[in-house]
Amino acid sequence: MPSSLPYSQSMSPKGPQSPSKSINDSQVTKKKRYRLSFVCQGCRRSKVKCDQEKPVCSRCSKHDLECVYDVTKQHAPRNPNKAATMARLRREVEYWKKKVASLTEENAPISNGNNENDKFWDLKVNLYKTYPRLIISSVLKREVTPLSENYLIIHDRFLCTLASSIFINAPKNSLVSALVTDVNVNKSHPHLRDVTLKMKETLKNRHPDGYERERIDKFFDRIVQLRGFSEQAQYQHIMQMFANSTSTEYLEDNCPGNNEYSNTLREIIDHFQSILPPYAVIMCHKQHFYENVYPFLPFIDKEMFEESLNVILFPDQTDPSKIKLKLGNTRLRSKVESIAILSVILKLSYISLNSVTFGNMEVKNSYVTKAMLQDYPISDETVLVAQKCLVAENWIVCVNENTISCLLYIWSFHVFAPENGDFFLECPSDILSNLIIILATSIGLNKDPSVLPLLNNPDMSDPRLLNLRRMQWLGVVAMASMESNLKGRQLLSPTELMNYFIDRNDPNALEIYMKRIQKDFNKSVLSSLVTNRYMLQIHELSFKRTQLALLLADLNRVTMSYKTGFSLRSVENLRKKINSVIDEDFDFIDLNEITEIDKKNGNISLLATQNSIAFLSRVMSTLILTRTSMALLLHFEKRCITEKDTMLPYFAHYFLQGCLDSISLASHFLNYYQGNMTSKISPLMGYTVSKELQLSLSSTLFNLLVIIMRLQFTEQMANCYVPSGLTEDLQKIEIITSLRMKLELLLKNVYLLASEHLRFVYFSVFKLLSLFDLVIQKVQNGDLLYDLFNKTPTTEIEPRVLLFLRATFNIDVKDNEPLVHNLKDHYMLTSLSVEQLQHVLEEVIKTIRNTQISTSTTMAEPEGTCTPMKNFDSINSPTLGTYIREANNESRNSLEPEADSGGLSGEVNMDLPNTLINDDVIMSIPEIFSSLGVSEFDLLFNNE
């Protein structure tokens, strides 16, 4: 009879077991685990690294998972190791010390003027979930996130209403449709091309300068698509980098002794020899790059790079205007990579030198002369050939440090080249940055090289690669963070990837990093002491810059919390940390006071770079903080409509914060272009500064504009409806008017300086300022809001315009009803007390004074405060614009200068020499906002 017991029991040497036990109890017991596990259950099950953060690890927190640590439920080892137990306990103690210190700092009470209650900052906000918006057209979709540049444009009712009035009231001969980048629209409306070309000739007649006329030709050709997409070659070549590998012949790494190169390699060599400048010019550009560009973009090891070039790059003995490449027979790929990097470096050097005015060129640069730039221009083709080399090497599969260096420099080219002014704000740079992260992690750059044994074996790898890899990873993280911060998006998280590299939350993170660098510098017998000291400074500067970028990424991540939202305390503490880092790590050095030792050691360029990075870091931080405060201002303004009693204090706080942040952002622009930074920033760093200011320009202008609109709207509503004789209300109007005039002056100054310095440099600024030509004229005439009170029959408006306004701005235009009704219940400033408004005015004046904005002689404001404007019999009065102008003129003429005006004084002179407004044609733009780049705004407007 067969046994009914399990096989393992029936065949046991001890015979059958007692049948009283259940089958489960009789099963073989698994071997117990005696090694304690300190990770959470979720990370252990998923087999991913757990940072063991308490009470919830970062991974579980990010994905809203339940985080359970079961270390207390596990059986202790039978024979525990005493030393291991003591080490574990010491780690626990250190962890909780750091935790207590961080919690103490985060929960420190934040004072807010009259509101000292801690509960004020415990309020939870959810911007990402509460205001979901998607820009949609027939060809694209783009999400609008809280810290993106488009958020203010899409969500602010004042700005949306003003933009709608511009579209509705645009004259028949305007360029509303002509400036759309959609070729189909221009093809279907040929009459618009005639209007555009007429405007082009008018503008060229006003600008005899050859460079400006050339840029006008180029910009208008882009508008009407005369050249198709020939100038967009860089976009095509980026996509060609993903070409099908089966159609590409890859480069060899070795060849026979008689230099029998493949056709692909021979073609690349011939191409480089035909486009690169003479050997002497290359040497001059290299020296300029090493001194003035490399400290900002240190993605190569200079010694290793020079060693490679010295054996392959030579002057052509038969033709002095050419160079000769001698690659030899071995390590061909590495040599081609060095030439590819060189070609991109030459272009970056050329860009940096072209950003300097020729008048200062000879004095400031001792390597490249004006004649060199004119006789041997470095074309964009050098970058395209470098990309071709990567394709020929099967770069996605065969990745190394040279590949990463080349890609980082290609990304830098697309960011800083004026011809690619929109590139940073569009998808192609997203492709590059994400791609670089993926490739960098594929070769282990995200881990400190000290943990990779083969890299630390001098027989297997050059010791100099250790610090190069560290520098490259800092560059990758800083690049990705800057991309995500500016665009308000979450790319592949550099914050998480940084955790494998170093614990960035450790207070001693910089010290730990620098010790690693110094240790590996000592391994290299080839590096000199001077070189090591110089590189240590660059490493320290790069680490600080990356730490700041990650802090800004933290702020972006917090505002995009979807399920639980975020507390105001978390935002304010991040603001405090960011400002603290800026004050401690990014101070300025006066270049006029540097020592002779610094001059002798050649540290002037490094100090100039340090100042430039300090300035750029301040601009970037102020930009992100301003977007945060403006997003919260809009949030609480909307909530005040239904929860006024509880939300008004928050509105008051963020209105003040928005004003101060907007002034600080504008001050960076004004201080640089008014010449206040000449003793701190070298003109040779202008290519980086002008790019950063271009990226912040639209936020600077629109932030000031939306605040001014609220102030002017409050003035008009108060004058229409406030009974005469109410002293408190008259005081409010007086304060609001004074505040408006100061902000208007800032707006006009930024506009004029941008028009003078950037209008013909970046295509996005050219488009942006075309809108502000109209806006500034309205501000100057005092009728900024005039068109909002007009009644327009919907029968006179094109249906596609109505659809566009509804889809983009959520503005529903009703027949014979003024647009101002869209602002119903949005004038919250009247609810603030006189004391609160006076506090705002005083803080604004103090901030203007502290930012040291220079007083302009051609653009200034009457000192003092303005008297109340006249009352209007009807809000729909057809003479409203006239009344406003009269009120402004009377109030200005009636004032005597005061001693304290916050640093702004003088007469306003608004002769707009660079504007696109004339008697024949008025230019208006469907791409109102330059940040929308290639077609977010345009294609919606032309959605057929």
Quick: pLDDT tens for 856-914. Answer: 434 333 333 222 223 323 323 222 233 333 433 443 343 333 434 444 443 444 444 44
Burial of 260 (0-12, 13-18, 19+ CB in 10 A): exposed
Query: Are both 56 and 138 inside the same structural domain?
Result: no
Q: Say if 903 falls within a structural domain.
A: no
- In angstroms, the CA 310 to CA 550 distance is 38
Instruction: Note whether residue 786 is domain-resident.
Output: yes
The answer on 290 and 431 residing in a single domain is yes
Q: Tell me, yes or no, whether 293 and 157 share the same domain.
A: no
Q: Which domain holds residue 66?
A: 37-76
Low-confidence ranges of the chain (pLDDT < 50): 1-34, 105-116, 173, 176-186, 188, 227-235, 244-246, 358-363, 423-424, 855-944
Give the Cα separation of 23 and 133 in Å (integer): 60
Fill in the DSSP letter of residue 674. Answer: T
CB atoms within 10 A of CB 317: 8
CB atoms within 10 A of CB 604: 16
The partner residues of 136 in beta bridges, in order of sequence, read 141
User: Is the CA virtual torsion 472, 51, 483, 677 positive or negative?
Assistant: negative
The DSSP element (H or E) to which 314 belongs, if any, is: strand 313-315
In a domain, 709, yes or no: yes
What is the DSSP code (8-state) at residue 297? S
Q: Which residues contact 713 (CB under 8 A, 6 or more apart)?
A: 158, 785, 823, 826, 827
Do residues 698 and 811 share a domain? Answer: yes
| Per-residue pLDDT at 42 | 82
Tell me how far the alpha carbon of residue 524 is from its chain's centroid.
37
Three-class secondary structure assignment of 243-282 = CCHHHCCCCCCCCCCCCCCCHHHHHHHHHHHHHCCCHHHH
Q: How far apart are CA 622 and CA 609, in angstroms?
A: 20
Question: Taking Cα atoms as reference points, which of 774, 788, 773, 775 lies closest to residue 818?
Answer: 788
Q: Which of 942, 770, 936, 771 is nearest to 422 (CA)?
A: 936
Confidence (pLDDT) at 346:
95
Q: Is 859 helix (H, G, I), strand (E, B) or coil?
A: strand
Predicted confidence at residue 667, as pLDDT, reads 94
- Asked if residue 684 is part of any domain, the answer here is yes
Whether 677 and 784 share a structural domain: yes
**Domains contained in the chain, number:** 3
Of 385, 414, 443, at which residue does a domain stop? 443
Are β-strands 323-325 and 566-567 bridged in parallel, bridged antiparallel, or unpaired?
A: unpaired
pLDDT for the residue numbered 30? 47
Residue 76 one-letter amino acid = A
The residues that bridge with 937 in the sheet, in sequence order, are none
- Same-domain pairing of 158 and 293: no
Tell me the CA distances in angstroms from 4 to 17, 22, 28, one per residue in order: 12, 13, 17
Same domain, yes or no, for 300 and 398?
Answer: yes
CATH number, position 41: 4.10.240.10
The answer to whether residue 842 is domain-embedded is yes
Q: Which tokens hold the place of 635?
A: 């949030």
Task: For residue 904, give the nearest of 721, 783, 742, 711 by alpha carbon.
Answer: 742
> Would you say 107 and 912 are in contact if contact means Cβ atoms under 8 Å apart?
no
Task: Give the chain's length.
Answer: 944
Q: Are residues 274 and 418 in the same domain?
A: yes
Do 41 and 134 have their domain in common? no
Q: What is the signed CA dihedral for 35, 41, 46, 50, rounded to 10 degrees?
A: -80
* Burial class for 449, CB neighbours closer than 10 Å (0-12, 13-18, 19+): buried
Q: Which residue has the tokens 């979450």?
A: 490
Angstrom distance (rounded) from CA 699 to CA 764: 13
The C-alpha atoms of residue 393 and residue 177 are separated, in whole angstroms, by 45
Report the distance separating Cα 765 and Cα 758, nearest Å. 7
Selection from 855, 911, 416, 486 nearest residue 671 by Cα: 855
Among 230, 242, 280, 264, smallest CA distance to 391 is for: 242
Domain finish residue from 76, 103, 135: 76
What is the distance between the alpha carbons of residues 844 and 863, in angstroms, rounded to a whole number?
14
- Which pTM value belongs to this model? 0.78
Phi, psi of 824, rounded to the nearest 5 degrees = -55, 135
Segment holding 143, helix H or strand E: strand 141-144
Do 72 and 142 reside in the same domain of the chain? no
How far apart CA 19 and CA 726 sit, in angstroms, is 99
Structure tokens that stand for 165 in this block: 């009035």
Q: How far apart are CA 616 and CA 478, in angstroms?
A: 13
**Residue 195 neighbours by CB distance under 10 Å:** 20
Whether 621 maps to a domain, the answer reads no
| Residue that terminates a domain, selected from 415, 443, 471 | 443
Match 């980026």 to its residue by tokens: 238
| Confidence at residue 709, expressed as pLDDT on a 0 to 100 scale | 92
Q: What is the C-alpha separation between 175 and 215, in angstroms, rounded?
A: 19
Nearest to 860, CA basis, from 901, 812, 800: 901
Summarised one tens digit per residue, pLDDT across range 584-599 is 999 888 777 766 655 6
Q: Are 326 and 315 in contact (CB under 8 A)?
A: no
> In this structure, what DSSP letter does residue 294 have?
T
Q: How far is CA 831 from CA 410, 634, 715, 825, 875, in A?
A: 53, 16, 13, 11, 20
Query: Which single residue is written with the structure tokens 């400190």?
Result: 448
Q: Is the dihedral of CA 291, 295, 296, 300 positive or negative?
A: positive
**Residues 6+ positions from 431 with CB-CB distance below 8 Å:** 238
Q: DSSP readout, 196-243?
A: HHHHHHHHHHH---HHHHHHHHHHHHHHHTTTTTGGGHHHHHHHHTT-
- 58 and 131 in a single domain? The answer is no
The amino acid sitting at 401 is: E
On whether the CB atoms of residues 710 and 829 are closer than 8 A, the answer is yes
The reply to whether 161 and 248 lie within a common domain is: no
